[in-house]
């Protein structure tokens, strides 16, 4: 049976469907290292790592590269700037307390880069030897403290004991004040470390602590009060008998400053089961103020029907807060609402290892309108952390995911870059590096660039590794979902005569397209693969058409990019097809 041939586009909605049956006509059904930007697929960008070298000429390790130790987890990461250049600070801790005979420690690796990206300083600092208590989750806080009438820019590194148990009421082990390249232990009163089991937040020249039983306590703005005086090691003054409020009966997990105004500070707090807004009302209703630190706060419960997955899961994007709870996602834009996810919500929560929930962390990637939540999957060893990321595109309002092993992340507003710590996405075989971790800058070219490896290109020691990217389109069929995404109900094969790709590629683009045919929804696909590109002397060439005949009852297409320097942005690809011989 011959029919008139038709041209039609390969169309799909942005996103990758993981929940339910992949046999449908709307969303792409598979993908790795692919995103949807302005509705169209493109490969996720490449990454390069930072190299930490010992530059002290008096050190016996002078010139050697520092690699984050094996079986260690970088639980926190911060990047900040001053007049000297860019600073990178990494907190290291062991994630698994069941490793015998290992000297478990919480350490800092601190390096400074100049404007050319070269190291000017690197130092390791041991915070605690925590062999018997390795459950540490570092929190970095950038603050300005008034000390001797001088405003000091400091970084507080708080050693919280909540890496395994989000409900833990164990006191903070302590912390460190980082001033330029100087490390000094924090010397807050003991009650501060006991109460700040959730963490701290710096808002409006005050340091707020939060933790068990809904407690929120704030510091004085004074540099000297009631016989106490600020110092580098005590940058803020707390008083046990005043300046606090209980906002709930359960533990406070996270806090964030919200839109300011005349009534600052205004802070949102997430407890285990609620979201609460506190607003400074000091001085209202003709209140007489005798102590400027004795603040009055109004409390507004935004939701008693919410949850929070981990201490590092809340992400602010354009003044709106997004986070995963238990069994659903949430958004706060003035109201706490469920965040719709009909593509991979069930798969995410079914595959999430809840015994490692505190390892979940979120990072925004504003260059691509994304929020990434990295999470640990079930079935992995105890000392394995996050192995996958679920990604929400806030502009396209869609979801996709990718395999990636990471331990912490940070978005730097100054440079607009997303950074993470973790292993190579594409492993090196010589020398074996399965236990090594690095700090990675994302969206750098299209490849993985590991500067530790400096061998010749094409060898196991090459610094550049291609990152494969692929996606598989939904089904098209005259028997099920026709090219117009309508249920046609005609029991005929569809014959593909030609594919006309519409792709914007890099100079070294290297892509293939696979035509996958299925007799029935549960059938194993029969696949034929063709080159979409041809190697050129200076630039590779995208073939204008692939004239290959392939027929089947149900068909979808897999587009794959793999090669050094290969990157793509998809447009609308067309195919020439016809109704083929009917089934007997």
Q: What does the alpha-carbon distance between residue 149 and residue 151 come to, in Å, rounded to a whole number?
A: 7
Cα dihedral 204, 209, 212, 216 sign: negative
For the chain, where do the domains classified as CATH 2.60.120 start and end? Answer: 6-44+468-582
Q: What does the alpha-carbon distance between residue 540 and residue 567 come to, in Å, rounded to a whole number?
A: 11
Q: Return the SS3 of 207.
A: strand
The DSSP output letter for 354 is G
Q: What does the alpha-carbon distance between residue 442 and residue 363 come to, in Å, rounded to a whole number?
A: 12
- Give the residue from 567, 574, 572 showing the smallest Cα distance to 505: 567
Q: What local confidence, expressed as pLDDT, does residue 147 receive?
A: 94
Q: What local confidence, expressed as pLDDT, does residue 307 receive?
A: 97
User: How many angstroms separate the Cα of 349 from the Cα of each of 46, 133, 166, 328, 358?
Assistant: 28, 28, 17, 8, 14
Q: What does the alpha-carbon distance between residue 395 and residue 382 come to, in Å, rounded to a whole number?
A: 36
Q: Which parts of the chain register pLDDT below 70? A: 1-3, 51-73, 82-85, 92-107, 112-135, 260-263, 286, 429-435, 454-462, 481-489, 581-584
Q: What does the alpha-carbon distance between residue 276 and residue 422 come to, in Å, rounded to a whole number?
A: 34
Cα diameter, the chain: 97
Structure tokens at 541: 């060439």
Q: Which residue has the tokens 């697929």?
A: 41
Q: Return the SS3 of 1.
A: coil
Q: What does the alpha-carbon distance between residue 412 and residue 408 come to, in Å, rounded to a whole number?
A: 13
Q: Kind and range of the H or E element at 191?
A: helix 190-195
Q: What local confidence, expressed as pLDDT, does residue 65 receive?
A: 63
Q: Which residues pair with 86 in a beta bridge?
A: 81, 113
Structure tokens at 537: 């002397």
Q: What local confidence, expressed as pLDDT, does residue 138 receive?
A: 86
* Contact residues for 325 (Cβ-Cβ < 8 A; gap 6+): 306, 307, 308, 309
Q: Kind and range of the H or E element at 345?
A: helix 345-351
- Give the residue from 452, 455, 458 showing the smallest Cα distance to 439: 452
Asked whether the beta carbons of 66 and 125 are under 8 A apart, the reply is no
Asked whether the beta carbons of 459 and 468 are under 8 A apart, the reply is no
Q: Which residue has the tokens 């500067």?
A: 451
CATH architecture of 6-44+468-582: Sandwich (2.60)
Length of the chain equals: 584
Structure tokens at 388: 């996958």
Structure tokens at 222: 């004074």
Q: What does the alpha-carbon distance between residue 22 and residue 46 come to, in Å, rounded to a whole number?
A: 28
Q: What local confidence, expressed as pLDDT, does residue 24 receive?
A: 84
Q: What local confidence, expressed as pLDDT, does residue 384 receive?
A: 85
pTM (2 decimals)?
A: 0.92
Q: What does the alpha-carbon distance between residue 266 and residue 208 come to, in Å, rounded to a whole number?
A: 12
How deeply is 174 buried, as exposed, middle or buried, from its count of CB atoms within 10 A (0-12, 13-18, 19+)? Answer: middle
Q: What does the alpha-carbon distance between residue 287 and residue 195 come to, in Å, rounded to a whole number?
A: 29
Q: What local confidence, expressed as pLDDT, does residue 431 receive?
A: 55
């Amino acid at each position: 049976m011959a029919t008139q041939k038709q041209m039609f586009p390969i169309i799909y909605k942005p996103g990758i469907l993981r929940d339910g049956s992949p046999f449908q006509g709307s969303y792409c059904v598979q993908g790795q290292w692919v995103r949807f930007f302005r509705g169209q697929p493109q490969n996720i960008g490449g990454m390069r790592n930072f190299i930490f070298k010992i530059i002290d000429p008096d050190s016996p390790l002078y010139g050697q590269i520092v690699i984050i130790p094996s079986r260690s987890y970088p639980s926190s990461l911060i990047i900040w700037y001053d007049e000297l250049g860019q600073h990178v600070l990494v907190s290291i801790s062991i994630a698994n307390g069941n490793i015998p005979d290992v000297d478990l420690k919480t350490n800092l690796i601190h390096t400074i880069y100049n404007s050319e990206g070269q190291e000017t300083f690197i130092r390791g600092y041991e915070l605690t030897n925590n062999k018997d208590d390795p459950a540490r989750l570092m929190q970095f806080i950038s603050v300005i403290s008034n000390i001797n009438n001088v405003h000091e820019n400091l970084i507080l590194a708080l050693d919280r004991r909540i890496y395994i148990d989000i409900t833990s009421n164990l006191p903070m082990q302590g912390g460190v004040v980082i001033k330029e390249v100087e490390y000094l232990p924090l010397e807050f009163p003991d009650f501060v470390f006991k109460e700040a089991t959730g963490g701290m937040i710096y808002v409006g020249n005050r340091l707020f602590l939060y933790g068990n039983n809904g407690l929120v306590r704030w510091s004085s703005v004074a540099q000297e009060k009631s016989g106490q005086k600020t110092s580098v090691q005590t940058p803020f003054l707390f008083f046990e008998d005043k300046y606090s409020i209980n906002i709930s009966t359960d533990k406070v997990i996270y806090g964030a400053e919200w839109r300011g105004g005349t009534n600052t500070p205004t802070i949102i707090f997430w407890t285990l089961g609620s979201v609460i807004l506190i607003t400074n009302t000091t001085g209202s209703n003709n209140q007489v103020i005798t102590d400027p630190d004795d603040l009055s706060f109004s409390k507004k419960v935004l939701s008693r029907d919410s949850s929070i997955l981990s201490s590092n899961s809340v992400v602010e994007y354009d003044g709106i807060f997004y986070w995963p709870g238990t069994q659903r996602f949430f958004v706060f834009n003035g109201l706490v609402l469920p965040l719709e996810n009909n593509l991979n919500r069930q798969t995410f929560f079914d595959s999430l290892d809840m015994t490692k929930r505190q390892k979940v962390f979120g990072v925004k990637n504003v260059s691509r309108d994304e929020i990434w939540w990295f999470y640990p999957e079930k079935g992995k060893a105890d000392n394995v952390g996050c192995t996958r990321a679920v990604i929400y595109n806030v502009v396209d309002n869609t979801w996709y995911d990718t395999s990636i092993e990471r331990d912490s992340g940070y978005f730097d507003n100054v440079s607009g870059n997303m950074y993470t710590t973790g292993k190579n996405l594409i492993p090196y075989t010589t020398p074996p590096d399965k236990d090594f971790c690095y700090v990675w800058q994302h969206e750098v070219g299209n490849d993985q660039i590991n500067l530790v490896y400096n061998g010749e290109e094409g060898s196991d020691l090459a610094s550049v590794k291609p990152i494969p990217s692929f996606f598989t389109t939904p089904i098209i069929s005259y028997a099920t979902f026709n090219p117009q995404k309508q249920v046609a109900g005609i029991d005929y094969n569809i014959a593909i005569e030609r594919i006309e790709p519409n792709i914007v590629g890099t100079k070294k683009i290297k892509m293939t397209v696979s035509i996958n045919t299925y007799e029935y929804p549960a059938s194993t696909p029969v696949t034929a693969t063709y080159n979409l590109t041809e190697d050129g002397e200076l630039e590779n060439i995208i073939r204008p058409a692939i004239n290959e005949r392939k027929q089947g009852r149900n068909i979808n297409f897999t587009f794959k990019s793999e090669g050094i320097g290969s990157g793509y942005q998809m447009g609308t690809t067309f195919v020439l097809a016809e109704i083929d011989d009917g089934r007997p």
